[in-house]
Structure 1
Amino acid sequence: MQESRNKTAVDAEGQSRLEAIGFMIAAVVLFSALDATAKYLVTREGLPVAQVVWARFVVQFSALLLLVPAFGIMSARALFTTSKLGLQLVRSVLMVATTAFNFMAIEHLRLDQAITIVFLAPLVVALLAGPLLGEWVGRRRFMAILVGFTGVLVAVRPGFGAVHPAVVYSFAAMLAYALFMLLTRYMSRYDRPLVTLFYSMFVGTFAGAPIAFAGWHAPESALAWILLGMLGVFGGLGHWLFLHAYQRAPASSIAPFLYMQLLFMVAFGFAIFGDLPDSWTLAGAGIIVASGVYLIHREREAARGR
């Protein structure tokens, strides 16, 4: 009887981790679409970065308020109720900072260049998850993370001949993103995902409004208005999946799958901006995919072992 219960628990844990991986992959597809849309609005439509950042949050916040009753929450008090108010506000500011610095970077960098620098974040998360969250990464998982990171370096090696100063914005986005991911995992132990999502959108909407309106530029095409609205859709749904991924598995287990975003960034970059991936990008992408497949295999083996 006890063995049966243990096997059931192991199977449930393994299933939870696989679901988390699926949520993470879906999230990075949406985040890639978000970045590509933002780059288009800034470079092709000529909209200010601050305005594009704010649009992402205000649309997402509006949609969230409309959908709140579907989650059984009927009062504003329930949305504001948190056991870690200070950390919720810090996490929200980190999310806004990540978005702002990233959009500032992709205004000048290719999508794959910008995401490569941000890809340092999972390595930072894996290193800090142990001392900060008590989620120590195993030797094989750590090696898989390093292999994935090596794939990122291979993918963009030719593109770093002349480094644009905007890489500073990407590094700032990466650091904010790493801390944001760690706080996301930590807050999942105390607050519901909807509350955490609400705080992120609330802070982004009201803190960013003064800056956005100070340099407001009215979009000149219907497409620009539609894309501004889609920013909230991509960001909102992606963030929702992101939260659920971190609820179902440790940060060090799912962080490596963020590397797969490079594949989607290359696809969007080619489809929208005509950026063709070279042989180095394809080789790096192969390394990243292989690393991800190995991580899935290790998750299954670890579950059986336990």
Structure 2
Amino acid sequence: MTVALAPSRSSVSAGIGFACLGFALYTCMDTAVKWLSAGYPLYQVIFFNAAFGLVPMLAYAQLTGGFGQLKTRRSWLHGVRAALALIGSFTCFHAYSVMPIADVYAILFCAPLLITALSVPILGESVGWRRWSAVGVGFIGVMVMLRPGAGMANPAILGALFSAVANALGFLLLRRFIATENRITFGFYASAATAIATGLMILVFGGVMPALNDLLPIAIGGMLGGSAYLFVTNAYRQAPAAVVAPFQYTQMIWGVLSGYLLWQDVPDTTMLIGCAIVIASGLYILHRETVRQAPVAQGATPAGTVASAASPIKTT
């Protein structure tokens, strides 16, 4: 048995840098979505985001080997992921439109718990009692945030939770097939299909002509989302998932900051307590995943090639 070589210090540093930048850009995109949702139909906002998100992806594909790398033999796979991305976009973007960004993030952070739980029936993985315990504790945190009897009546909160489920399912498919599919295809086909579907909705149901002062946030928001996907996927390419994944939680910092500066939103104590429980559970699951997979045996996937089950890559 041989052990995979650990990534160099410079590679890990680059991965951390890519992760911090990528997750910060995701928050910029989400802020643009919330800003635009007040004046445009939701399907039109999703169209803007997906269509402009294709620009950096196409540019990256051209610069790193040409458009040929976007070819795939698994159209069904990308069709399923595109459907999950479309549904997740509607539920998540609706939540952004009526809730503080930080509150939506707190609920979305339960995705690693869902990934761990769903990896048993979908991937056939074995989950030990420690990780099951962490999942259970994490869902207690989710219930604290949902406030049964009060929050459960809020469709936006349920939408954010459903978006976390869609994100988890999409990531499990990515994890299952990433070894034989170019990583960029997952983001490209999801965005392309979403743009086509919502573009047809605009033709059928009508849209709103963008105001001149909205054109810049429309374009920048979408391109930042596409760029964020590229930065985060490259972060996992440069550094082990155990190093990269925790930086996803920095989105809470940026979400609180943008929400306060633009809308004077401040998360309440109950939401913060629930979020802290979920984050702690996710980090423990990541720790157990890292312990379980080390050392990497010959024939296994080297560290950093596939994100761990506790670190979903956002594609919506």
Q: Is the 8 A contact 2:78 2:189 kept in 1?
A: yes
* Aligned amino acid, residue 87 of structure 1: L
Once residues 168 and 290 of structure 2 are traced to their aligned partners in structure 1, the CA distance between those partners, rounded to angstroms, is: 26
Q: How far off its partner does 1:40 sit? A: 1.3
* Aligned amino acid, residue 46 of structure 2: V
Match of 2:172 among 182, 189, 192: 182
Q: Is the 8 A contact 1:129 1:252 kept in 2?
A: no
Give the structure 2 partner of residue 64 of structure 1.
Answer: 57
With 91-100 and 241-250 compared, the bigger mean Cα shift is at 241-250
Q: How far off its partner does 1:62 sit? A: 2.9
Q: Per-residue CA shift, 1:173-199, capped at 9, x if unaligned?
A: 233222111112123121111222221
Q: Is the 8 A contact 1:182 1:251 kept in 2?
A: no
Once residues 255 and 180 of structure 1 are traced to their aligned partners in structure 2, the CA distance between those partners, rounded to angstroms, is: 17
Q: How far off its partner does 1:209 sit? A: 0.9
Structure 2 unmatched ranges of 5 or more: 297-316
- Aligned partner of residue 277 in structure 1, secondary structure: coil
Give the structure 1 partner of residue 97 of structure 2.
Answer: 107
Give the structure 2 partner of residue 219 of structure 1.
Answer: 210
* Aligned amino acid, residue 38 of structure 1: V
* Aligned amino acid, residue 175 of structure 2: R
Once residues 218 and 123 of structure 1 are traced to their aligned partners in structure 2, the CA distance between those partners, rounded to angstroms, is: 41
* Aligned amino acid, residue 262 of structure 2: I
Q: How far off its partner does 1:141 sit? A: 4.2
Give the structure 2 partner of residue 55 of structure 1.
Answer: 48
Q: How far off its partner does 1:275 sit? A: 0.9
Instruction: Give the fraction of aligned pairs with identical amino acids, expressed as a percent.
Output: 30
Once residues 19 and 123 of structure 2 are traced to their aligned partners in structure 1, the CA distance between those partners, rounded to angstroms, is: 19
Q: Is the 8 A contact 1:117 1:170 kept in 2?
A: yes
* Aligned amino acid, residue 68 of structure 1: A
Q: Per-residue CA shift, 1:23-60, capped at 9, x if unaligned?
A: 666544333332222111112xx111111100011111
Q: Per-residue CA shift, 1:135-161, capped at 9, x if unaligned?
A: 444444444455555455556759945
Report 1:1-306 matches (<5 A): 6=3, 9=4, 11-12=6-7, 26-43=21-38, 46-73=39-66, 75=67, 78-151=68-141, 153-154=143-144, 157=147, 160=150, 163-213=153-203, 214-222=205-213, 224-244=214-234, 261-287=251-277, 290=280
- Aligned partner of residue 166 in structure 1, secondary structure: helix
Q: How far off its partner does 1:129 sit? A: 1.6
Once residues 127 and 24 of structure 1 are traced to their aligned partners in structure 2, the CA distance between those partners, rounded to angstroms, is: 25
Once residues 136 and 108 of structure 1 are traced to their aligned partners in structure 2, the CA distance between those partners, rounded to angstroms, is: 39
Q: Per-residue CA shift, 1:256-276, capped at 9, x if unaligned?
A: 765554443223222221112
Alpha-carbon RMSD across the aligned residues, in angstroms, is: 4.0
Q: Is the 8 A contact 1:10 1:303 kept in 2?
A: no
* Aligned amino acid, residue 52 of structure 2: V
Once residues 187 and 143 of structure 2 are traced to their aligned partners in structure 1, the CA distance between those partners, rounded to angstroms, is: 32
Distance 1:116 1:285, change over 3 A: closer
**How many residues are aligned here?**
295
* Aligned amino acid, residue 218 of structure 1: M
Once residues 90 and 97 of structure 2 are traced to their aligned partners in structure 1, the CA distance between those partners, rounded to angstroms, is: 11
Q: Is the 8 A contact 2:102 2:267 kept in 1?
A: no
Distance 1:255 1:132, change over 3 A: farther
* Aligned amino acid, residue 71 of structure 1: T
Q: Per-residue CA shift, 1:90-135, capped at 9, x if unaligned?
A: 1122112211221122222332343344333322211122342344
- Aligned partner of residue 153 in structure 2, secondary structure: coil
Once residues 152 and 136 of structure 2 are traced to their aligned partners in structure 1, the CA distance between those partners, rounded to angstroms, is: 25
* Aligned amino acid, residue 207 of structure 2: W
